[in-house]
């Protein structure tokens, strides 16, 4: 059975499904899902992420988190957590860059939140020297100081889409006709969660809601507020969304979101406003949402690139220069990707970010 067969059967039985249910099936179906069955990253995969582009990304994230840990009096032990660690590259770079920070590795309990068996295996190989623990959900994070990074994790969480119609909203749904998937619309009605968006939208606008992000942020912000720590959330997106940002990528090319269920990566832009509101509601603070390029420049990526360039020449040097540009330039990832930090009320914000 293909995932399309499974989805068509489900729609015939239960009726059209929300975009969120469609995304969840496509990404996480236990045997046919995109993340559950493969390694999607790198040049042979469907997309590339910042840590796969250059070691500099993870090194600077690691140093920012380690500085927070020192500023907060080196709490021991603490959880060093990554959400959605992919191949384990980012965590490996964080750990390598922080080797010289006295006490950091001894105090760190490396904890990975991952759903994909295929990626867990890769992470186990990459991080075998650091005895990581895997958990299925942030709800299982221990009650201790939490230093956390999430890069391109929240964009993989399922979103629902709503079209404004007068003062009501109609949900965009996935249905089927003759065994082919197609988009449709649900009935028009009020949506309590969207009442604040009547002011900044007009008839026909589409907006997106990511309900799954809120309980995750609640746990993270709660742990940091009560035990100390910091979090760096890096993703493409903005304060809040307007318009359809659901995107499918296959072999580094965009494809139609309904064209290849389970075979293409599906993501949506991350709205930072609800994440920020949840953070404050948990008694934790958040930084300004800062472009990735600005964040990395403040942490010294250019000096790091210059240091690395001394040992390189020819094509290796070209690769380094291209990576620096790709991570920081406003026309590449520098502006599209944003960083928001979480930190306790009594502590300084993570280096590279402003309160
Ligand atoms: N952070 C990595 C990988 C990003 S890809 C990097 O920057 O390279 C998204 C990651 O999130 C993958 O590891 C994927 O398996 C994981 N993931 C997606 N949805 C998830 C969920 N609901 N719970 C836990 N992990 C998830």
Contact 185, 172 (CB under 8 A): yes
Q: Which long-range contacts (CB under 8 A, 24 or more apart) does 305-309 make?
A: 305/56, 308/56
E strand or H helix at 313: none
* pLDDT band, very low/low/confident/very high, at 122 (cuts 50, 70, 90): very high
Q: What is the mean pLDDT of residues 17-22?
A: 98
Pocket flag, ligand 1, residue 88 (CB < 6 Å): no
36 Cα to the center of ligand 1, angstroms: 10
Pocket flag, ligand 1, residue 45 (CB < 6 Å): no
Residue 3 has pLDDT above 80, yes or no: yes
Give me the residue spans of the domains in the chain.
Answer: 3-30+160-208, 50-158+210-343
Q: Tell me, what's the pLDDT at 240?
A: 87
In total, the chain counts a number of residues equal to 355
Please give the mean pLDDT across all residues of the chain. 96
* pLDDT band, very low/low/confident/very high, at 44 (cuts 50, 70, 90): confident
Q: What is the mean pLDDT of residues 21-48?
A: 91
> Quick one: which atom of ligand 1 is closest to the CA of 84?
11
* pLDDT band, very low/low/confident/very high, at 184 (cuts 50, 70, 90): very high
* CA geometry: angle 37, 46, 248, nearest 5 deg: 95
Closest residue by CA, ligand 1 atom 5: 86
Q: Tell me, what's the pLDDT at 233?
A: 98
150 Cα to the center of ligand 1, angstroms: 9
* pLDDT band, very low/low/confident/very high, at 46 (cuts 50, 70, 90): confident
* pLDDT band, very low/low/confident/very high, at 37 (cuts 50, 70, 90): confident
Residue to mutate, 47, 156, 158, 213, ligand 1, most ligand atoms under 8 Å from C-beta: 156
Residue 309 has pLDDT above 80, yes or no: yes
Q: What is the mean pLDDT of residues 285-314?
A: 98
140 Cα to the center of ligand 1, angstroms: 17
How far, in Å, CA of 136 to CA of 276, rounded? 24
**Dihedral over alpha carbons 282, 283, 288, 294 (to 10 degrees):** -90
Q: What percent of the chain has pLDDT over 90?
A: 93
* pLDDT band, very low/low/confident/very high, at 193 (cuts 50, 70, 90): confident
Q: Tell me, what's the pLDDT at 28?
A: 94
> What is the distance, to the nearest Å, from the Cα of residue 275 to the centroid of all Cα atoms in its chain?
12
Pocket flag, ligand 1, residue 138 (CB < 6 Å): no
Closest residue by CA, ligand 1 atom 14: 84
What's this model's pTM, rounded to 2 decimal places? 0.97
Q: What is the mean pLDDT of residues 188-211?
A: 93
> Quick one: which atom of ligand 1 is closest to the CA of 36?
15
Of the listed ranges 27-41, 134-148, 297-311, the one predicted with least confidence: 27-41
Q: Tell me, what's the pLDDT at 195?
A: 87
151 Cα to the center of ligand 1, angstroms: 8
> Quick one: which atom of ligand 1 is closest to the CA of 82?
1
Q: Tell me, what's the pLDDT at 182?
A: 98
Q: What is the mean pLDDT of residues 5-9?
A: 98
**Domain 50-158+210-343 - what CATH class?**
alpha beta
> What is the distance, to the nearest Å, from the Cα of residue 51 to the centroid of all Cα atoms in its chain?
13
Q: What is the mean pLDDT of residues 316-340?
A: 97
Residue to mutate, 86, 149, 266, ligand 1, most ligand atoms under 8 Å from C-beta: 86
Phi, psi angle pair for 60, to nearest 5°: -70, -35
* pLDDT band, very low/low/confident/very high, at 127 (cuts 50, 70, 90): very high
Per-residue pLDDT tens digits for 66-121? 999 999 999 999 999 999 999 999 999 999 999 999 999 999 999 999 999 989 99
Pocket flag, ligand 1, residue 156 (CB < 6 Å): yes
Pocket flag, ligand 1, residue 119 (CB < 6 Å): yes
Burial class (CB in 10 A: 0-12, 13-18, 19+), 37: middle
Per-residue pLDDT tens digits for 207-221? 999 999 999 999 999
């Amino acid at each position: 059975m293909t995932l399309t067969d499974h989805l068509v059967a489900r729609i015939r039985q239960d009726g059209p499904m929300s975009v969120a249910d469609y995304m969840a099936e496509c990404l996480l179906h236990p045997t046919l899902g995109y993340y559950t069955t493969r390694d999607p990253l790198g040049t042979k995969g469907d997309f590339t992420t910042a840590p796969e582009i250059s070691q500099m990304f993870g090194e600077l994230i690691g140093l920012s988190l380690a500085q927070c840990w020192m500023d907060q009096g080196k709490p021991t032990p603490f959880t060093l957590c990554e959400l959605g660690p992919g191949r384990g590259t980012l965590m490996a770079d964080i750990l390598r860059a922080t080797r010289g920070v006295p006490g950091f590795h001894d105090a760190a309990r490396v904890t990975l939140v991952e759903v994909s068996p295929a990626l867990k295996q890769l992470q186990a190989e990459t991080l075998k020297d650091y005895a990581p623990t895997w958990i299925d959900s942030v709800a299982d994070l221990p009650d201790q100081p939490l230093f956390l990074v999430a890069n391109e994790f929240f964009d993989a969480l399922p979103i629902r889409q709503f079209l404004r119609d007068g003062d009501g909203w109609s949900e965009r749904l996935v249905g089927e006709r003759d065994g082919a998937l197609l988009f449709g619309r649900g009935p028009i009605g009020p949506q309590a969660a969207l009442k604040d968006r009547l002011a900044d939208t007009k008839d026909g606008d589409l907006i997106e809601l990511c309900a799954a992000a809120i309980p995750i942020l609640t746990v993270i912000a709660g742990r940091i507020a009560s035990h100390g720590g910091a979090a760096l959330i890096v993703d493409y997106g903005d304060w809040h969304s307007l318009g359809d940002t659901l995107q499918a990528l296959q072999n580094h090319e965009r494809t139609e979101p309904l064209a290849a269920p389970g075979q293409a990566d599906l993501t949506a832009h991350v709205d930072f406003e609800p994440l920020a509101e949840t953070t404050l509601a948990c008694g934790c603070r958040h930084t300004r949402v800062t472009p990735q390029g600005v964040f990395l420049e403040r942490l010294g990526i250019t000096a790091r690139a210059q240091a690395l360039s001394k040992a390189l020449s020819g094509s290796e040097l070209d690769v380094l220069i291209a990576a620096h540009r790709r991570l920081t330039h406003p026309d590449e990832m520098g502006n599209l990707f944003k960083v928001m930090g979480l930190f306790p009320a009594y502590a300084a914000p993570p280096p590279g970010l402003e309160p």
